[in-house]
Structure 1
Amino acid sequence: MSALLADVGLNILEAHVFSTTDGYSLAVFVVDGWQSEEIQELTRALSRALSAMEKGAWAKPSSKSEMPVVHETAVHPENGQIPAPALPSTGTDDWEIDYNQLKFTQKVANGSFGDLFQGTYCGQDVAIKILKPERLNENLQREFLQEIRIMRKVRHKNVVQFIGACTKPPNLCIVTEFMSGGSVYDYLHKQKAVLKMPMLLRVAIDISKGMDYLHQNKIIHRDLKAANLLMDENEVVKVADFGVARVQAQSGIMTAETGTYRWMAPEVIEHKPYDYKADVFSFGIVLWELLTGKVPYADLTPLQAAVGVVQKGLRPTIPRNIHPKLMELMHKCWKTDPAARPDFTTITALLKVILKEVNAEILEEESKRTRDVKKPGGLFSSFKRSAVR
C-alpha cells in the first residue's frame, strides 16, 4: 500500500495500522501531494493502481528478504531482558523505511555506538540515529529492535514521534521527528540557560505527562535524564531515547541494572527488583537539574555517587527559597522505598497546582508594583511633577 500511494504521486506523512484478532487490518495514511478538490481523480488513480496490482503488474516482495523484524517477545520476569529477536522478516512492515529515501543534512551528535544526524524524509525534517556497523553486536542489536518495538507503539505529544526505521544491515537506523530545540541537558549545561519558575514547571509538566503516558502503557523508560529529554521549536519537551526501555513484566517487577548512575534509583543500582517507580526517582533528579542547571553529584565519580545513594542515602542538595510544595515533591520522588514515591498522574496534578500558585504570585507582585508606581509619592507622581516643571 505504501508503494501504491507513492506510485500515484502521494507523500506519506503518517501511517497507522490497526489489526484485529480475527485477521483483519485497517491501514490509515496521512498524505499530501494531491489537491483536495480533485478527490474523485485521486480515487480513480488509486483504483487503476489497485487493478494493476491485482493483475500482477507489481512485483511481489521476495520471500528471501532478510529484513529484521521486531517480534512481540515477553520480558523475562527475572532479569528484565528481552530474548534476542530473530532477524528474518518479509520486509513488509509499514514502518520500514528505504534508506535511499533519507537525505542527511548534518551530524548533530556522535557516540560510541552510533551517530545522530539531522535530515529529511519525504520532505519532512527528521532525526536519524544510525548504529555504527563496526560496533554492532547481539546486545546492541537487541536494544535497537527493542527501541523500535516500543516507539512504534506510542503516540503522545510529550513523547518523541517515531517515523520509521531501516533494519537491513549495514544501514541500521531509527528515524524520528526532528526536535530543533535540542536536549534539555544542552539547554541547561551548554547554553547555560536559567529557567524561570513558570517555564521550569511547564517543562516538568511536559516530562511528567510523557512519562505518565508511558507508564499507563506499561513502559518503563529506565534512563530518564535531561540528555534524553528533547525540546521542539515551541519549547515543548518530549521524552526520547528508548534504547534501554522495557515493557513491564506481568509480575510488575523487573531486575538488571540499567540507566545512568547519577540518575539511577537505589533499587536499580543494587540489582533489586524494581518497577515504574524507578523512573519517578530519576524524575526527582531531573527536577533538581532544572532548578540548579548543574550535573548531579558533579564532585563525585558516577560510581562514588552510586555508592553514596545506596549506602549513605545521598541525595542532591535542594536550593533554598524554592516553592515548599516543589521541595516536598522532590523529597517524595527520592524516597528509598519505591512504594512511597508518587506516580506520574499524581505528580502532574501537583505540578499544575504549583504552577497555578506561582503564576498567581507573579501576577500579585506585578499588580503591587503597578500600585506602588501610581500611588501618591510614587514613581508615576514624580514623572508628573517633572513634566509640570
Structure 2
Amino acid sequence: MHEITFSADDKPKLLSQLTCLLSEVGLNIQEAHAFSTTDGYSLDVFVVDGWPYEETEKLTTALEKEIFKSEVFDHLSIPNDGNDVWEIDLNHLKFGDKIASGSYGDLFKGTYCSQDVAIKVLKPERINSDLQREFAQEVFIMRKVRHRNVVQFIGACTKPPSLCIVTEFMSGGSIYDYLHKQKGVFKLPTLLKVAIDVSKGMNYLHQNNIIHRDLKAANILMDEHEVAKVADFGVARVKAQTGVMTAETGTYRWMAPEVIEHKPYDHKADVFSFGIVLWELLTGKLPYEYLTPLQAAVGVVQKGLRPIIPKNTHPKLVELLERCWQQDPTLRPDFSEIIEILRQTAKEFGQEGEDRRKDKSGGFLSVLRRGL
C-alpha cells in the first residue's frame, strides 16, 4: 500500500483527472480524500495498491511521466525528488554578452556563483501554455541526465516571467558554426572522436528512455577540451510506455521520414538524424543545400532522397551512413553498435597510418578562434 498526495490549484474535475492519472500508472485506489482551502488550493490524498515494489523511487518517476503527459497541473510545477537543488537564485546569476537570439528566447553568456554558464531565457512576450509546457519538459529531462557527452544542467528559474535554463558554458561553440560559418574541416581522427562523443551521449539518453528529437550539428557543442556534447532538449521527450511516439518535431533537413510523415516513431528517429550529422562532419556542407527545408522533406519521404556520400569516404563510414538513414527504422543500428563501429574505424585508421601528420590548423578551437 502507498499513500500519494497531490497539491494543486483547485479546479473542476480535478479529482476525476487524478483518478485517471493513477489508473494509467496501474494503481488501484483503496481510499481517496479531497480537501479544498479557502484560498483556492486543493489537497488530494489517495491510498493505493497495485505497485509491485515497496520502494517509491520508480513510482515517483512513473507518476512524473504521467503528469507531464497530462493536462492536470500547471506544467511549471516541476516535481523535485529531493536529490537536486536546481531552482536558481537570480541574485547569484549575472548576465554577460548575448550569444544568440531566436524567436522564442535569447542565449547569454553569464556567471553563476563565479562559474561561467550559458543562460537560455524565454522571451516574456512569447510565453504561452505550450511554451511553458515545453520549458518544463526540458527542465524535467535535463535535471535527470549526467554524462560527459551531454551538456551539464546547472539549474533553472521556473517562476514567470523570468523563465530561464542555466547550463555549463561551452567555449568551443557549436559544430554547425564551426563547419558552416568558420568553414572548418575535420581530419578523420578528429571527426571520429567527435562522432564517438556524440554517440556516447545519445546512447546514454536512449538507455534512459529519452528521445532527443532534434539532433543536428547546431545542437552539438564543444568544450575547451574539444569534448563534443549533445545539447538543447527543448523538444526532447521521455519515451512513451508503448515505445512509439507521434507528432512532427525537429528540423526538416535532419528529420527521419517517419517523423516527417507523422507516423509513430521511436529512438531510431535520432539514429537517422545522427546519420545526417555524420555526413555533415565528413563534408562540411549543409544537407540538401540547394533545396528548401520543405523540398528536402518531401524528397526524403517520397523519393528516398539522401545526401550524396563523397567518393573518398572510408568504406566503414559509407556502410554506417547507409544503415543510419535506412527508410525502415528497424534496420538502423542502435548507438551502442554505432560506437563500436566508429571505434573500430578509428583503430583501423591508426593502424593503416593514412594520415599521421599533425593537423597544422591546431584543431577545432584554434580555427574557431581565428575565425572570431
- Give TM class, smaller chain: 0.7 to 0.9
1:147-204 per-position Cα deviation (integer Å, ceiling 9, x unaligned): 0000000000000000000011111000000000000100111111100000000000
1:122-171 per-position Cα deviation (integer Å, ceiling 9, x unaligned): 01000000000000011111110000000000000000000000011111
* Aligned 1:14-33 pairs, distance under 5 A: none
Q: How far 1:84 moved relative to its partner?
A: 7.2
Partner of 1:35: none
1:204-237 per-position Cα deviation (integer Å, ceiling 9, x unaligned): 0000000000000000000000000000011100
Partner of 1:130: 121
- Contact 1:84–1:138, Cα closer than 8 Å, also in 2: no
Q: How far 1:359 moved relative to its partner?
A: 1.6
1:73 pairs, out of 65, 69, 80, with 65
Change (3 A) 1:319 1:171: same
* Aligned 1:274-353 pairs, distance under 5 A: 274-353=265-344
Partner of 2:19: none
Distance 2:356 2:135 in 1: 51
Distance 1:125 1:64 in 2: 41
Change (3 A) 1:210 1:85: farther
Q: Which amino acid counterpart does residue 97 of structure 1 have in structure 2?
A: I
Change (3 A) 1:234 1:98: same
Q: Which amino acid counterpart does residue 225 of structure 1 have in structure 2?
A: K
Partner of 1:200: 191
- Contact 1:222–1:258, Cα closer than 8 Å, also in 2: yes
Q: How far 1:362 moved relative to its partner?
A: 2.0
1:261-294 per-position Cα deviation (integer Å, ceiling 9, x unaligned): 0000000000000000000000000001001111
Distance 1:299 1:75 in 2: 43
- Contact 1:210–1:238, Cα closer than 8 Å, also in 2: yes
Distance 2:278 2:190 in 1: 12
Q: Greater Rg, structure 1 or structure 2?
A: 1
Partner of 1:224: 215
Q: Which amino acid counterpart does residue 271 of structure 1 have in structure 2?
A: H
Q: Are 2:131 and 1:140 equivalent residues in the alignment?
A: yes
Change (3 A) 1:22 1:279: same
1:9-48 per-position Cα deviation (integer Å, ceiling 9, x unaligned): xxxxxxxxxxxx999xxxxxxxxxxxxxxxxxxxxxxxxx
1:66-88 per-position Cα deviation (integer Å, ceiling 9, x unaligned): xxxx9813389xxxx66474245
Distance 1:161 1:64 in 2: 38
Change (3 A) 1:301 1:85: farther
SS in structure 2 at match of 1:104: strand
- Contact 1:75–1:82, Cα closer than 8 Å, also in 2: yes
2:239 pairs, out of 248, 257, 260, with 248
Q: Which amino acid counterpart does residue 72 of structure 1 have in structure 2?
A: E
Change (3 A) 1:277 1:88: closer
- Contact 1:108–1:118, Cα closer than 8 Å, also in 2: yes
The count of corresponding residues between Structure 1 and Structure 2 is 299
Partner of 1:211: 202
Distance 1:293 1:158 in 2: 22
Change (3 A) 1:141 1:89: closer
Partner of 2:8: none
Structure with the larger strand share: 2
Distance 1:90 1:282 in 2: 31
- Contact 1:75–1:246, Cα closer than 8 Å, also in 2: no
- Contact 2:64–2:79, Cα closer than 8 Å, also in 1: no
Q: Which amino acid counterpart does residue 239 of structure 2 have in structure 1?
A: Q
Range moving further from structure 2, 94-103 or 214-223: 94-103
Distance 1:297 1:243 in 2: 24
Change (3 A) 1:163 1:89: closer
Change (3 A) 1:356 1:185: same
The TM-score, its normalising length taken from structure 2, stands at: 0.76
**Percent sequence identity over matched residues?**
70
Partner of 1:183: 174
Distance 1:237 1:247 in 2: 23
Distance 2:183 2:73 in 1: 42
Q: Which amino acid counterpart does residue 74 of structure 1 have in structure 2?
A: E
RMSD: 2.5
Change (3 A) 1:75 1:213: farther
Q: How far 1:100 moved relative to its partner?
A: 2.2
Q: How far 1:90 moved relative to its partner?
A: 9.9
Q: Which amino acid counterpart does residue 217 of structure 1 have in structure 2?
A: N
Q: Which amino acid counterpart does residue 97 of structure 2 have in structure 1?
A: Q
Q: How far 1:99 moved relative to its partner?
A: 1.5
Distance 1:357 1:297 in 2: 31
* Aligned 1:46-61 pairs, distance under 5 A: none
Distance 1:242 1:100 in 2: 26
Gaps of at least 5 residues in structure 2 are 5-38, 42-60, 358-372
SS in structure 1 at match of 2:290: coil
Partner of 2:52: none
SS in structure 2 at match of 1:214: helix
Distance 1:365 1:226 in 2: 27
